[in-house]
Structure 1
Amino acid sequence: MSIQKTLIYPSLIFIYCFLFSQKATAQVLKTSTGNVVFKSKTLTEEIVANNSQVSVAIAPSKNQMQFRVPINGFQFKSALMQKHFNENYMETSTYPTGDFLGEIKNINDVKFEKVGEYPVNVAGKLTIHGVTKEVNTSGTILVKTVGIQLKSSFKIKCSDFGIEIPLRSIDSISDVISIDVNCVLTQ
């Protein structure tokens, strides 16, 4: 084999791999500044926390989506609430993230190349506090001229994820938590 062929073949393989990896990367929409808000509402108190450090990635061609929520990223109106949330309820040092890995059941209804609003059904595995549960929910994908926006609202039960609410707090913390997701993704 000549020196020319010895140099050309590896170069062609490298270029092919580079182009292929670029194509695969171009199909992934992502953000690291997604927003998740949760609300706990009882007769005596409403607790709201906001997290704008949510990482999201969607690969439409593979119909895969993943969310990672750093639990200590939730901001409360009171530092004491935030401390209790992280230390006593969520045990953030042991369970630092909430994760979702799933798919869009009706992915073929979403035209990612056409501006518009598309209702979607999502299914996957949600892991919070070390407990993984199957979830199904609905949402909306808004395809914009630059990027897409994901929106969803759903509820979870703390007890389903092993999060214990002490009896002394049962009047101020609900077992059912409302979750609102709003994320803008780009390539």
Structure 2
Amino acid sequence: MFMKAIAILVCLFVTTHVMAQDYITRNGSISIYSHTEMEDIKGNNNEVVSLLNSTTGTFDFKVAIKSFHFPKQAMEDHFNDENYMETDKFPKAGFSGKITDISAVNFAKDGSYNVVVSGNLTIKDVTKPVTAKGVITIKGGKLNAQSVFNVNRKEYKIMGQSFVQSKLSDNIQITVNCDFEKR
């Protein structure tokens, strides 16, 4: 009976310890930005779900495409239609990767830590490798992750209608800003 009680306590400790290594957000932010001489296009999504494991460095994002909002309703409508994101057919985008230098981050100490994230970005039915620099900031036990990087929209089959091609940049800037809490 005593050994059984010890085994249960050890299992509880290990489970608690493993769970304390995960950080989660359900309201992270991703913004997209396109600049051309004809028009600037900005969209924001504040419903990003992300999980970060501080031990392994694994990092995952999921985002509902319809949760991007734009200053003009017409931009939002175009973004979601069959010529751009095809939201009805591909409702989500995602990233699955790893912080390559996770040992450089001290999750127990306040500070800002430069990191590199590598993984696969999936938009529509296209998955491509992406590597981006980022910053993880620890303050008072809270974690914030930020990154800015570019993707080529045509590589992800985001074409648009021919008459608006000059209004949409080939390279789209993506900005990630997520506040995580321990899971």
TM-score w.r.t. the length of structure 2 is 0.92
Match of 1:103 in 2: 98
> Matches of 1:165 and 1:175 in 2, distance apart?
11
C-alpha contact 1:29 1:147 (8 A) present in aligned 2 = no
Alignment of structure 1 residues 77-116 onto 2, 5 Å: 77-88=71-82, 89-116=84-111
Q: CA deviation at 1:94?
A: 1.4
How big is the shift at 1:137? 0.8
Amino acid at match of 1:171: S
Alignment of 1:41-80 (within 5 A): 41-80=35-74
SS in 1 for 2:56: coil
State the match for 2:32 in structure 1: 38
Partner of 1:158: 153
Larger radius of gyration: 1
Could you tell me how far 1:19 is from its partner in structure 2? 3.8
The amino acid that maps onto 2:50 is: V
Change beyond 3 A, Cα 1:16–1:162: same
| 8 Å contact from structure 1 (residues 36, 180) kept in 2 | yes
Runs of 5+ consecutive residues of structure 1 not aligned to the other structure = none
State the one-letter code of the partner of 2:17. K
Paired residues for 1:10-49 under 5 Å: 16-49=10-43
Q: Which runs of 5+ in 2 are unaligned?
A: none
Secondary structure of the corresponding residue to residue 95 of structure 1: coil
- Work out the CA distance in 1 between the residues paired with 2:161 and 2:170: 11
Any conservation in 1 of the 2:110–2:141 contact (CA below 8 Å)?
A: no
Report the alpha carbon displacement of residue 81 of structure 1 after superposing the two structures with TM.
1.5
User: Identity, % of aligned pairs?
Assistant: 32
Cα separation, 1, equivalents of 2:6 and 2:75: 58
TM-score (norm 1): 0.90
The alignment's C-alpha RMSD in Å is 1.8
Superposed CA offset, 1:19-63 (max 9, x none): 432222111011001011100111110010010000111001122
Q: Does the 8 Å contact 2:55/2:102 carry over to 1?
A: no
2:164 to 166, 169, 172: 169
What amino acid sits opposite 2:105 in the alignment? V
Which AA in structure 1 matches 2:129? E
